[in-house]
Amino acid sequence: MRTRFITAFSLAICREKAPGQRECETGINKLQDLLRDLNQASLSAVSQNLPARKDNTLQGFVQNAETALRLAEEHIDPICHAGKSQAENLGHHVTSMATIIESLVSNIIGVSSNIVETKEQVNILERSRTVLESAVQFVCAAKESGGNPKATSLHPELDLSSQVSCFVDHGHCQFKVLRNIWQHVCVPL
């Protein structure tokens, strides 16, 4: 019994020290902080108290968010691949995606803050929260797989979360849903 405990403990320590694990944990924490920011903005919007950001125009926020959204999409396959077989690249890809999503969230809040209709503000923020929750799930699955090609039992979960991370909800890609909302409430680009 003691040998099993020592072996399990040793494996946990080795896993924690594996390439990409610390970066994944940092990325997960960053994404969870961003979720809190979105939730706070959503609460402010519901109470009709979301101050309009003036550091950019509505169109500027939309363009920046669109760019960040495209870049986040481009990170899904590399993270999925690294999560399955490239532990040495996993941390880099996750860190990069978390930084991109930070920009995305900032610009989404900027978009929302410059829309007059409270219902539309809340809609964008709620959809964005769904996207962000999927991103957290995806990074957790990548961290769990750890870039280990022998962890084949974990790969289906990573595949599934990468599909959800395209951030599919009820059969619709959440990235596309956000784009459609922006086109509806914003001046065409």
| Banded pLDDT at 178 (limits 50, 70, 90) | low
- The confidence score (pLDDT) of residue 164 equals 66
* C-alpha span between 34 and 132 (Å, rounded): 8
- The confidence score (pLDDT) of residue 8 equals 47
Residue with tokens 């599919």: 168
- The confidence score (pLDDT) of residue 14 equals 45
- The confidence score (pLDDT) of residue 91 equals 96
> What's the predicted TM-score (pTM) here?
0.83
Residue with tokens 């914003």: 186
10-19, 73-82, 89-98: least confident range: 10-19
Mean of all residue pLDDT scores within the chain: 84
* C-alpha span between 95 and 61 (Å, rounded): 23
Average pLDDT over residues 73-78: 91
* C-alpha span between 163 and 112 (Å, rounded): 26
- The confidence score (pLDDT) of residue 21 equals 94
Residue with tokens 């959440």: 174
116-155 pLDDT, tens digit per residue, is: 999 989 989 998 898 899 899 999 999 999 999 999 999 9
